[in-house]
Amino acid sequence: MPNMPRPVWWKDGVKFECQQSGKCCVSRGGYGFVYLTLADRKRMATHLGLKLSVFQKEYCGKTDGFFHLKEEATRTQCMFLKGAGCSIYEARPTQCRTWPFWPENMSAKAWSLEVASFCPGVGKGNGVDVNRIRKDLNSQIDAESKY
């Protein structure tokens, strides 16, 4: 399990507000699995009015023992992205709920060079306080232990 990043540069929070661009739902090369915990799969199945087994068969793949949303070679975006919005927003997976506050994004370098390069929400809005960042980081770290 990854360690909680130390709040050095983000100790006073960060200016971030989702712009609903959908850019975080589009692959930027490499692999881009959206991993799913059992709780994620149940929530999504319920939202779609499906039994868990049907949801998993229709929407999930499994790689190295870990469930994830199916990917297709011809698709570069999440199957639930419609326009610039998530069609299952209320039931979206933990990985999506906690974006961009993932452990690997919370170094100053990763935030300023990688996240800010494609996410238009960086630097916008009133900001996100350190407690919300910690909560999202903890949720993502906890989910990673359950994939």
pLDDT digits (tens, 9 = 90+) for 92-145: 999 999 999 999 999 999 999 999 999 999 999 999 999 999 999 999 999 988
Stated pTM of the model: 0.87
pLDDT in tens, 26-70: 876 655 789 999 999 999 999 999 999 999 999 999 999 999 999
pLDDT at 128: 96
CB within 8 A of 15, min separation 6: which ones? 122, 123, 124, 125, 126, 127, 128
Residues listed for the chain: 147
